[in-house]
Amino acid sequence: MVHKLDTGIKIVRNVLRYTIGEGAIRELSKIVDPKRLNKGSQVVYIVDEFFKEKNNILNSLGFHDNDELMFISTELEPTTEYIDELYLSLLERLVSSPAAIVGIGGGVSLDVAKAISNLLTNGGKAEDYQGWDLVKKPGIFKVAIPTLSGTGAEATRTCVMTNKSSGLKLGMNSDFTVYDQILMDPNLTKSVPENQYFYTGMDAYIHCIESLNGGFRNAIGDAYSTQTINLCREVFTSKNMMSDINRSKLMVASYLGGCAIATSYVGVVHPFSAGLSVVLGIHHCLANCIVMRAMKEFYPKEFKEFWQMVKEQDIHIPKDVCKNLSNEQYDKLFESTIVHEKPLINALGENFKDLLTKDKVIDLFKEM
Q: Which residue has the higher pLDDT, 279 or 132?
A: 279
- pLDDT, average across residues 138-163: 96
Report the b/e string of 71-90 with b at 16+ CB within 10 A: bbebeebbbbbbbbebbeeb
pTM listed for this prediction: 0.93
Give dist(CA 172, CA 184) in Å, integer.
23
Where residue 167 falls among pLDDT bands split at 50, 70, 90? Answer: confident
pLDDT, position 119: 98
Q: Which residues contact 362 (CB under 8 A, 6 or more apart)?
A: 330, 333, 334
Where residue 132 falls among pLDDT bands split at 50, 70, 90? Answer: confident
Write out pLDDT tens, residues 169-215: 889 999 999 999 999 999 999 999 999 999 999 999 999 999 999 99
- pLDDT, average across residues 220-239: 97
Where residue 75 falls among pLDDT bands split at 50, 70, 90? Answer: confident
pLDDT, position 271: 97
Give dist(CA 162, CA 279) in Å, integer.
10
Q: Which domains does the chain have, with CATH numbers?
A: 17-189 (3.40.50.1970), 194-366 (1.20.1090.10)
pLDDT, position 290: 98
pLDDT, position 55: 74
Q: Which residues pair with 170 in a beta bridge?
A: 161
Has residue 2 got a pLDDT over 80? no
Has residue 367 got a pLDDT over 80? yes
Write out pLDDT tens, residues 23-45: 999 999 999 999 998 777 999 99
Lowest mean pLDDT among 64-78, 111-125, 243-257, 272-286: 64-78
Counting DSSP H helices and E strands in the chain, the numbers are: 14, 9
Whole-number average pLDDT of the chain? 94
pLDDT > 70: percent of the chain: 97
Give dist(CA 208, CA 313) in Å, integer.
21
Where residue 59 falls among pLDDT bands split at 50, 70, 90? Answer: confident
